[in-house]
Chains A and B, each alone.
Chain A
Amino acid sequence: IQMTQSPSSLSASVGDRVTITCRASQSISNFLNWYQQKPGKAPKLLIYAAFSLQSGVPSRFSGSGSGTDFTLTITNLQPEDFATYYCQQSYSVLYTFGQGTKLDIK
């Protein structure tokens, strides 16, 4: 299952609201997870099953979607949120990731 994210990169300012989109090549119900990765670090789970917030993750992160189209929304951007974000499907045991969306400071 191919996962396609858009945009590939995004510039925003502290306090902004941003949305990242992930599209699956076939329906995956809500078997969709989101991760955040900072340079030199391992990815960190943010959201699982499309909209469930992982423990310890700030509530300014939210996820939505079902079927083939999903979104990650970050409200009130904080300096620590500038990173690369990946979606990942768990519908098929051959787990696949999107190519990533790099969020940087405008």
Chain B
Amino acid sequence: QVQLQDSGPGLVKPSETLSLTCSVSGGSISSSDYYWGWIRQSPGQGLEWIGSIYYSGNIYYNPSLKSRLTISADTSKNQFSLQLRSVTAADTAVYYCVRRMAAVKSYFDYWGQGTLVTVSS
């Protein structure tokens, strides 16, 4: 059974960098069958796709966040990470790590439990 465990600080100061890590068990992030990525959920914006990384190193970002965003992977630890720079209160949300099928008709089939990140001084 695949499990995704996201972790990171729950409080980040404005203008600083939000960093989260997702640890994957029961499956390999080096598999060609899946993408690994992040989705966030806030009351104001609903569910928002952030970006994904593929085993080949290809990375896809939401254009609205691209200038502040880095998604990376550490295959030796079977983990992938999110860094969002220069955060503001608008970045306050629950952040989920997710697995997406590498298929033409793709979908998010596994989700982490979610980490609430609050941006506040």
Residues of A within 8 A of B (CB): 30-31, 33, 35, 41-45, 48-49, 54, 86, 88, 90, 93-100
Closest beta carbon of chain A to B32's beta carbon, Å: 18
| B55: Cβ under 8 A from any A Cβ | no
Closest beta carbon of chain B to A87's beta carbon, Å: 10
Q: Give the docked Cα–Cα distance between A45 and B99 (Å).
A: 11
Residues from 28 to 43 in B contacting A, C-beta threshold 8 Å: none
Is A42 a contact partner of B111 (Cβ separation < 8 A)? yes
Instruction: Mark each residue of chain B from 36 to 74: 1 if its CB lies under 8 Å from any CB of chain A, else 0.
Output: 000000000011110000000000101100000000000
Q: Give the docked Cα–Cα distance between A88 and B32 (Å).
A: 23
Residues from 98 to 120 in B contacting A, C-beta threshold 8 Å: 105-109, 111-114
Query: What residues of chain B lie closer than 8 Å to A35, measured between beta carbons?
Result: 108
Is A90 a contact partner of B96 (Cβ separation < 8 A)? no
Query: What residues of chain A lie closer than 8 Å to B114, measured between beta carbons?
Result: 41-42
Is A48 a contact partner of B105 (Cβ separation < 8 A)? yes
Query: What residues of chain B lie closer than 8 Å to A42, measured between beta carbons?
Result: 96, 111-114
Question: Known contacts A30-B105, A42-B96, A100-B46: does B62 contact A94 (CB below 8 Å)?
Answer: yes
Is A93 a contact partner of B107 (Cβ separation < 8 A)? no
Query: What residues of chain B lie closer than 8 Å to A86, measured between beta carbons?
Result: 46-47
- Chain A CB count within 10 A is highest, among B63, B107, B114, for B107
Query: What residues of chain A lie closer than 8 Å to B109, measured between beta carbons?
Result: 45, 48, 54
Please, could you name 9 A-B residue pairs with CB atoms under 8 Å apart, sorted by A?
A35-B108, A42-B113, A42-B114, A43-B96, A48-B105, A48-B107, A54-B109, A88-B108, A96-B49
Question: Known contacts A93-B60, A94-B63: does B46 contact A45 (CB below 8 Å)?
Answer: no
The contact of B47 among A43, A44, A90, by CB within 8 Å, is A43
Q: Give the docked Cα–Cα distance between A94 and B108 (Å).
A: 13
Q: Give the docked Cα–Cα distance between A69 and B108 (Å).
A: 21
Query: What residues of chain B lie closer than 8 Å to A99, measured between beta carbons?
Result: 46
Question: Known contacts A93-B60, A94-B63: does B108 contact A49 (CB below 8 Å)?
Answer: no
